[in-house]
């Protein structure tokens, strides 16, 4: 049995790997691609290079692939399904941090703290607050009420926000499927926490933006592909929505001249939500070690991706 794991995790998990398991520790993409050719299982992330797309195609013996990323759009799901390779992801590893960022976006937007910071930089004192929005009594729609979505909901509820979640099934009182579109006008905050799949691509377009309240804010901590950029820019320029807090955009990084940078009432956070922490890699190492034991024993593993659903 040969497994492949990032060298940065060696000190965290080496003593948890059973005797008889051959481990190759890699430091970069090239080393990973060279070593995966005869690996049975692999954790394919590096702290320097991040995710390693298409590595599974170099591994004829591979039976299990792990990534610490929650989003798995960089992996060929059809190929894994055809080969019978199990994919596990890092769903939940940085959920608290991403949820914190989403709530930060709502607070910054409500009080327009971005404008407060600019005033302070100019050494300008004002008695007129740039933002007068109040969270208590407002309504939030969280599209994608999984681990992160529920954490966002719990945090917002503590501020007195009435939260409605969206799931595929409509479980636990959430809105099912696409029924949220008919209710968009009821919400002050529309928060995207859904995975990036073919079904969610450009799910927020001209029609959805037109249905939102003219004062509502769009908050995206999911993936940039969920939003039609051209439609969002047009809506912002026309003042059809209050604004947008974008932790994620498409493409990433956003090119310097992209009009989304300078669209009115947009707050960018450069996909920093999941990176604003120091413990995710250690938690990923724990997950890998636990799942490796399950893999060797033939027991169910945690965070197995549904390759048909895409998450």
**Could you read off the pLDDT of 221-232 as tens digits, one per residue?**
999 999 999 999
Average pLDDT over residues 247-251: 97
Whether the CB-CB separation of 256 and 235 falls below 8 Å is answered with no
- Is the pLDDT confidence value at 120 over 60? yes
Q: Which of 263, 231, 265 is nearest to 108 (CA)?
A: 265
**DSSP3 helix / strand / coil % (the chain, rounded to 5):** 40, 15, 45
pLDDT in tens, 143-202: 999 999 999 999 999 999 999 999 999 999 999 999 999 999 999 999 999 999 999 999
- pLDDT band for position 70 (cuts 50, 70, 90): confident
Pairing state of beta strands 45-46 and 50-51?
Answer: antiparallel
pLDDT tens for each residue of 90-105: 999 999 999 999 999 9
- Pairing verdict, β 45-46 and 22-26: unpaired
Question: Is 3.40.50.720 the CATH classification of the domain at 2-93+278-297?
Answer: yes
What pLDDT shows up at residue 48? 55
Retrieve residue 134's tokens: 């109040």
| The pLDDT value given to residue 177 | 93
Looking at residue 73, what is its pLDDT?
A: 85
Tokens of 140: 């939030």
pLDDT of residue 4: 96
CA 194 remoteness from chain centre: 8
What per-residue confidence (pLDDT) applies to 50? 59
Q: pLDDT of 263-298, one tens digit each? A: 999 999 999 999 899 899 999 999 999 999 999 999
Confidence at residue 71, expressed as pLDDT on a 0 to 100 scale: 85
> C-alpha 203: how far from its chain's center?
16
Tokens found for residue 21 = 């398991």
Angle at 283 between CA 281 and CA 288, to 5 degrees: 90
Show the CA angle centred on residue 269, arms to residues 142 and 264, nearest 5°.
Answer: 85
pLDDT tens per residue across span 125-157: 999 999 999 999 999 999 999 999 999 999 999
pLDDT (average), residues 233-257: 98
Task: Write the pLDDT tens digit of every residue in 15-55.
Answer: 999 999 999 999 988 899 999 999 999 998 876 555 677 88
The predicted pLDDT at position 74 comes to: 81
pLDDT of 75 reads 87
Residue-level pLDDT at 56: 85
User: Please, are residues 298 and 1 in contact by the beta-carbon 8 Å criterion?
Assistant: no
CATH of segment(s) 95-268: 3.40.50.720
Determine contact, residues 195/221, Cβ cutoff 8 Å: no
pLDDT value of position 310: 87
Quote the pLDDT of residue 104: 98
State percent of the chain over pLDDT 70. Answer: 98
DSSP 84-105: T-EEE--TTTTHHHHHHHHHHH
Cβ–Cβ < 8 Å for 254, 57: no
Nearest to 180 by CA among 146, 142, 206: 142
Within the chain, all domains assigned CATH 3.40.50.720 are found at: 2-93+278-297, 95-268
- Pairwise CA distance, residues 267 & 261, whole Å: 9
């Amino acid at each position: 049995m040969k497994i492949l794991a990032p060298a940065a995790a060696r000190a965290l998990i080496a003593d948890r790997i059973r005797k008889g398991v051959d481990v190759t520790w890699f430091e970069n993409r090239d080393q990973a691609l060279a070593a995966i050719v005869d690996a049975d299982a692999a954790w394919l992330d590096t702290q320097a290079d991040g995710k390693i797309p298409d590595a599974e195609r170099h591994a004829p013996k591979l039976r299990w692939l792990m990534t610490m990323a929650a989003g798995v759009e960089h992996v060929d799901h059809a190929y894994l399904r055809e080969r019978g390779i199990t994919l596990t992801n890092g769903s939940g590893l940085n959920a608290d941090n991403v949820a914190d960022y989403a709530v930060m976006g709502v607070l910054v937007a409500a009080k327009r703290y971005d404008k407060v910071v600019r005033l302070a930089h100019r050494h300008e004192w004002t008695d007129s607050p740039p933002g007068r929005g109040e969270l208590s009594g407002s309504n939030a729609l969280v599209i994608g009420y999984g681990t992160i979505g529920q954490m966002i909901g719990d945090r917002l509820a503590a501020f007195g926000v009435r939260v409605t979640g969206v799931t595929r099934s409509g479980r636990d009182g959430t809105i099912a499927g696409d029924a949220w579109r008919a209710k968009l006008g009821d919400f002050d905050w529309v928060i995207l926490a859904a995975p990036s799949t073919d079904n969610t691509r450009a799910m927020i377009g001209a029609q959805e933006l037109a249905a939102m309240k003219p004062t509502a804010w769009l908050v995206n901590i999911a993936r940039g592909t969920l939003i039609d950029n051209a439609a969002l820019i047009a809506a912002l320029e026309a003042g059809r929505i209050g604004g947008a807090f974008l932790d994620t955009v498409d493409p990433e990084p956003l090119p310097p001249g992209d009009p989304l940078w300078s669209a009115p009432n947009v707050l960018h956070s450069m996909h920093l939500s999941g990176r604003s922490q120091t413990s995710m890699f250690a938690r990923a190492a724990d997950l890998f070690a636990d799942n490796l034991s399950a893999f060797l024993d033939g027991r169910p593993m945690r965070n197995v991706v549904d390759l048909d659903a895409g998450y």
